[in-house]
Structure 1
Amino acid sequence: MVMTLRNLLSESSLGLRLLPGDPSTDEQLDAEISWAHSSDLMNPSPWLEPGQLLLTDGGQFPHPKDAPTTFAEDVRAYVNRLKSTGIVGLGFAVNVVHQSVPQPIVRACADAGLPLILVPSSTPFIRVIRKLADAIAEERNASMQWSIQAQRAVGRAALRPDGLSATLRELESQLGCWVALYDALGKLVPVRTKHAVPKEVREELEDAVTAQLRGGRAAATSLGGVGEREITLQTIGQSTRLRGVLAIGTRLPLDPAGSDLVESVVGIASIAIEQSRALDDTRRGLRTGIMELFLAGSTEAAMRALRDMDTWSPQGRIRVAVVRGTNDWDHILTELELMAATTDVAFAKIGEELLVLYPSNEKAPLAFVAREGLRAGVSGSVGVREMRKGRENAQHAVRRAERDGEIVDFEKLAERGMLSWLDASDGRVLAERMLGKVRARPDGDELLAALRAWYSHNCAWDPAARELGMHRHTLRSRIAMVQEITGLDLESFGARAELWLALELAD
């Protein structure tokens, strides 16, 4: 039993009595007493700690008839010093030095809101101290017994088939609380617990969990009073690789035994989640094999394998996304694995790129691309058996994205015209090769400027020459030089079109 002033006053064998004082002191009667200390010093505060009960026989105070004129002020300063230390009350023994408690002390305690306890001469201080010691020992023993039983109950729960869920439910039972488990993305893990997170704290709790994960280090945090509950957040996993956060909502702050129990549950949850991550690593390898089956045309075998994994299997029309731009795919694959539990998505890392499949009528599950600074290309709508075509289209688009720094849709790329398609197909490489010898000449810039002006006027000599401020024969001479260097017959439409494409792509 926790010993409070109220409990101590109810012990008839001690004969203690609360003297009338400030009504607010009634609230302090239920404060836990950590220990009792006796002193007759006028300033015992250096040896006092918050939560203690101070006992005195008043030997430091003079007899009323011998009291100086400053006695009331001295007593008030004494009581204020005691109050500032955070003690729960002052016990004054009578019929030892003083026949009764001096009135200045009674008034000072009432004004300061410090409970004043009368201790009869028949009750030695050691009896009060022993009573407190026995109560503290009993409380510690009860806490230890509870802790042992609670730890055993949690251990038994962990051995059940639904070990993680059973463990969290047992924690709820032992602490009389609600429990919520969040994954590495800050999303609520759908484990079966007894109590749901109260609606009024969900938004604030989710924000706190996100901040905890963003901090990137293992830690326990208390949100203090949120609603009618004290909420404790405990990260799961190592600082370099946080796996989630366990949230516990209790009516009172956790005591040491409760904190120990939570740490045990966090350990069990960490093991369960690490085991799940080990399975995820295995699934990644399996996903790569399945995607290769799709690309090889073994569609039925690939779809059966996905169904056996109890995950989404592509049906009907789909889109293929190709993602590039990093050598560290681990946390992205973890995010997609968590997403795959609730979203229609299939994925696999093949070589240096990530392939993502999703229904053609759904929004692309590529929020991580912009966040991580990656590049992605998305195919048009294709059938499941056209996976290879979809990948090729997405690869054309991602090559454009690698330059433009965005997610590029292949269908929109096609809408931009032939130049965009050739650009995405590395047409610029061939264009630079065609124009390289021209650029390398000392007069290369002049030749290319003449070529651009000639094309801008639909290969008409006079207007192009006027724009350049030269005679048309000079312009003809420069175009003839370009023809000689490139080996193209610019009298033919095909050669003119080919050189124009090269010039546009190179620019």
Structure 2
Amino acid sequence: MSFDLRTVTRVVGGSYLDFGIADHTSCEGLARVGEYVVVASAEFATLVTGSVDDLSARFAQGSEAAAVTARAVFVSDQDTPRLRKTLAAHGMSAVLGASLSGDALHWRLAALLADDRAAADRLVTAGTRVLTQVARRGGATAVMAELAHRIDGWAVLLDAHGQLIASAGAGRLHLDDAKAVALGTPVRVRHPGLQTHQVGSDLDFTGYLVVASRSSATGRIRDLASQAAALFDLVLRTRNPSLTEHLGREALLDILEAGGREAAVLLSRWGVREVELTAFVLGSRTRTVDLERLVERWLDELGIEYLFVADPGRVRGFLPEQLAGELASRVASFAPPGASTLHLGLGTAAAVDALGRSAVQARQAFDAAAEGGAAVQRYAELPTVDFVLDAISGDQRTQLGGILDELRDELGAHGELLETLHVFLAEHGAHRASAAKLGIHRQTLVSRIHRVEELTGLSMSRPDDRAAAWLALRALGR
């Protein structure tokens, strides 16, 4: 509302007496002095009218009634030393010496407030209409820019995890304050007067809209921001794919991983023109993150097709190699309160008719990221052993693993000797640490290692033999 105390003073032709309520304070209500029983808002002023005797009687009722009355602004045609003394004694601001009196003054003020509310409503309606139009053309980013302009301030749009979706005005400069207010973080907010609006319902929560304005028209700004939040709920709402669509995308991903001409033709029909793609696998140890919704939003921001499918606890798919770094940056910077880090595995770029190898690489990179606690792991940055094993055929893997066949028991299964060798090599040949991890005596460990050397012909004192044993273990899936 733009109808403030200065406007009231000017319209009724009086003078303003300030006893604690500044003359630039906006007005939000009107009442008879004897009917004013509750302070509506500390941010706005409520006007009260009546005779000086009515005012004195109200003050005489007691401390509670006097305290409530003093929080309003008295408007009267009277202006006497006695009245001024009474107002000063109770710290009540007033507009005195108005040109109208009695009911005429009261209804004049009522008409002014009604006109102001109607004007504010028209501004909100017009603003909402414009925001809707720009949403059709430019989406959430365009709505944010228009909203910041209309409220003469800045705006920040956060997702349900407190991550930035879009900002306008000086929003990025106040991002920490916006997050603190939206998420209820107990920190000192440096920017006063922030408004937070929920985007979406409690049952289908989308995020937060935080706004701040240099204007004093708080009510209009609140109404307009509330309408914008409802609009963002439509703009950002994630589609709810049916079971048929999920199954269809899963089948399409299987075709891509199988490779061949059929995969290339399918991508062409899908509208994907790249000649190479990179596989990715994204997952998290917590269920508080909606991975599918997150990936959909990120791919929308990157402007690429939905070449992914959601599996339990993870999402797998393909994207252009030149955008793999952008996805990795989003994953690395994603840190929702109370949730564990996301883990992303990226394969190497592969031709669109041979994506299977990249998919396998992405899964291996994801497993390495999850085990090591890394946010992002590229297959190309994995240890050399993985390259060696990936480069050989299945028969060669079997032959490599055969180095340790002598360690099998009577039933052909690997038992404690193989486990002892694995722990011993993983602990870099440290006897004490290996024995502790296996839960055996150190001398028992030494005896088992000697037995392994006798059966395999390998010597754990030679680097080449230790490397061969480790490769054989990895070939066996250890």
TM-score normalised over the length of structure 2: 0.58
CA RMSD of aligned residues (A): 6.2
Instruction: Give the partner amino acid of 2:356.
Output: R
**Count of residue pairs the alignment pairs up:** 414
TM-score (norm 1): 0.56
Work out whether residues 213 and 244 of structure 1, in 8 Å CA contact, stay in contact via their aligned partners in 2.
Answer: no
Q: Could you say which residue in structure 2 is the equivalent of 1:348?
A: 308
Indicate conservation of the 8 Å contact 1:323/1:374, yes or no: yes
Map of 2:176 onto structure 1:
207
Please give the alpha-carbon distance, in whole angstroms, between the structure 2 residues aligned to 1:404 and 1:326: 13
For 1:90 and 1:159, the matched residues in 2 are separated by 43
CA distance in 2, matches of 1:174, 1:479: 79
Query: What is the 5 A alignment of 1:12-411?
Result: 27-28=22-23, 32=27, 34-35=29-30, 37=32, 51-53=46-48, 55-57=50-52, 85-89=70-74, 91=76, 101-102=81-82, 106=84, 114-115=93-94, 117=96, 127-140=101-114, 143-144=117-118, 147=121, 151=125, 154=128, 158=132, 162=136, 168=143, 177=152, 182=157, 184=159, 186-189=163-166, 197-199=168-170, 201-204=171-174, 206-211=175-180, 214=183, 231-250=194-213, 251-255=215-219, 259-260=222-223, 262-274=225-237, 277-278=239-240, 288=250, 290-295=252-257, 296-297=259-260, 298-307=262-271, 313-316=273-276, 318-323=277-282, 331-343=290-302, 347-349=307-309, 351=311, 354-359=316-321, 363=325, 365-366=327-328, 367-368=330-331, 372-373=340-341, 375-401=343-369, 403-406=371-374, 408-411=377-380
SS of aligned partner of 1:270: helix
Larger relative contact order, structure 1 or 2 (CA cutoff 8 Å, min sep 6):
2
Higher Cα Rg, which structure: 1
Tell me how far 1:489 sits from its aligned partner.
8.6
Aligned partners of 1:5 and 1:32 also within 8 Å = no
Counterpart secondary structure, 1:233: strand
Separation in 2, partners of 1:247, 1:173: 11
| 1:355–1:47 Cα change, 3 Å | closer
1:327-349: CA deviation from partner (whole Å, max 9, x where unpaired): 96982222222222343866412
Distance in 1, matches of 2:210 and 2:286, equals 33
Distance change >3 Å, CA 207–CA 239, structure 1 → 2: farther
> Superposed, which structure 2 residues align to 1:418-429 within 5 Å?
none
Q: Flag the 1:388–1:212 CA change in 2: closer, same or farther, 3 A.
A: farther
Q: Distance in 1 between matches of 2:251 and 2:67?
A: 74
Seen in structure 2, the aligned counterparts of structure 1 residues 213 and 437 have a Cα distance that, compared at 3 Å, is farther
Q: Is the 8 A contact 1:414 1:420 kept in 2?
A: no
Q: Deviations over 1:261-311 (max 9, x none)?
A: 54444334423433x534799987775455334323234324424436xxx
- Structure 1 position 390, deviation (Å): 1.7
Runs of 5+ unmatched residues, structure 1? 62-73, 95-99, 190-195, 217-222, 457-467
- Say if 1:293 and 1:301, in contact at 8 Å, map to a contact too: no
Contact 1:168/1:179, CA 8 A, preserved across alignment: no
Q: Is the Cα contact below 8 Å between 2:78 and 2:98 reproduced in 1?
A: yes
Judging changes above 3 Å, is the alpha-carbon distance between structure 1 residues 285 and 224 closer, same or farther for their aligned structure 2 residues? farther
3-state secondary structure, aligned to 1:236 = strand
Question: Residues 345 and 379 of structure 2 are in contact (CA less than 8 Å); yes or no, is this contact kept in structure 1?
Answer: yes
The one-letter code matched in structure 1 to 2:308 is A
Alignment-derived partner of residue 435 in structure 2: none
Structure 1 CA distance, aligned partners of 2:348 and 2:148? 53
What residue number does 1:68 align with? none
**Are the structure 2 counterparts of residues 356 and 239 from structure 1 closer, same or farther at C-alpha, using a change threshold of 3 Å?**
farther
- Per-residue CA deviation, residues 457-494 of structure 1 (Å, 9 max, x unaligned), is xxxxxxxxxxx999xxxx89x849975xxxx7999xxx
Taking the aligned partners of 2:198 and 2:321, their CA distance within structure 1 comes to 35
Letter in 2 for 1:270: D
Q: Judge conservation of contact 1:33–1:88 (CA < 8 Å) in 2.
A: no
- The Cα shift of 1:88 comes to 2.4
Structure 2 residues not aligned, in runs of 5+: 430-441, 460-464
1:415 Cα shift? 1.7
